[in-house]
Amino acid sequence: MIRAESSVDAAAIDRIVSNFGGNDTYTAKLRSSGSIIPELSLVSEDVDSSINGYIGCAAARAGELDTPLITGIHAENEETARALVAELIRIAKENGRDALLVFNDGCKKLFKDLGFYSAVCFGIIPPGELNDMGTLHCLCLTEKRLDEAVKAELPDVIGKTFVEPLFDIHSRLTEEEYSFTAMDTRRHSRIVDYILESVMIVISVILFIIKKRFLFLSPAIIIVVYMVKTFIRLKKFREKLEESKVGDGRLSIDDHLIFYDDRIMVYMPQVSNVYFRRYTDYHFMFLKKDYLMIGYPSRDNNMNGNTIKYRDIHDKDAFVRFIKEKSGGIRIMR
């Protein structure tokens, strides 16, 4: 059975919390400071009505979003822990909370199974050291979302301080624009591929003429079909890109780049992914009419990277100088 904490449960909860790390845990600190939200403080009971599990939340915000911070799960087994989190989610929804935050240090599979993702995937920048940023996770409870990246406002008692980024850029691209830029910024490597493919076609045709066997012509046919498909895809992307410029369109891609002293943090809500890259990992900067792309070579000789719309950069030249300085000299491709 799971129910709300009552006034007579304090001693039992303190005992359970103490068994899971003592007085230095987030739960102990938040409870002793009086930061716990009463309606989001739950206990579980076994058959003899003794308390065998606890979970609570402290008040926290991310911009305009009400995002309580889960203190931690203190339960004797995984089944109880899962039941406590599920009930907390249900009550938080009923109370009109926008999202739940949690430092996902010990129950990664449980939170993942229940739909929690890294908070930065939702535009919430967590406090703490840069390497710890991936530990703060989030579950959205409503349709409300952030338009820009914001810092999470968490209780001071947990001892987390912000690592201030140098600046951040909020990039918005339509799906068509994103697909097009992914293709277009590989133009340089594609030209090399086209040259090699053309050479293979010529060799295949020459061998066919000399040997008079259709077997030698098959590589040329396969390569031609592949090249035609590539050109059709590029044509389609360009047509869609032009169409998207007519109206505002729905902005379905919503990436953020956060720039720190030693690396870039990239998070992509559309794939619920976040990663860090050092500036020296980037080898190329592609400058196009409407966007730029910080690129790095992949094993298949294509270019990977992160795309940024010019309209989101207040001073493009300053940004380019910044990246070149941080990377130790980046190759510019137009």
Q: What is the pLDDT of residue 69?
A: 94
Query: Which H or E run contains 167?
Result: strand 167-173
The residue assigned the tokens 């009109």 is 96
Distance separating alpha carbons of residues 153 and 155, to the nearest angstrom:
7
Q: What is the pLDDT of residue 237?
A: 59
Task: Convert the pLDDT of each residue in 66-111 to its tens digit.
Answer: 999 998 888 878 888 899 999 999 999 999 999 999 987 666 678 8
The residue assigned the tokens 């360009």 is 238
Torsions phi, psi of 250, nearest 5?
A: -90, 125
pTM listed for this prediction: 0.64
Domain spans, the chain: 2-163, 165-334
Q: What is the pLDDT of residue 189?
A: 61
Task: For the chain, list residues with pLDDT below 50.
Answer: 244-253
Half-sphere exposure (Cβ direction) of 55: Cα atoms closer than 13 Å: 26
Q: What is the pLDDT of residue 42?
A: 93
Is 165-334 CATH 2.30.29? yes
Q: Any idea which fold 2-163 has?
A: Aminopeptidase (3.40.630)
Q: What is the pLDDT of residue 230?
A: 77
Position 325, amino acid: E
State how beta strands 117-118 and 136-140 pair. Answer: antiparallel
Q: What is the pLDDT of residue 302?
A: 58
Half-sphere exposure (Cβ direction) of 315: Cα atoms closer than 13 Å: 7
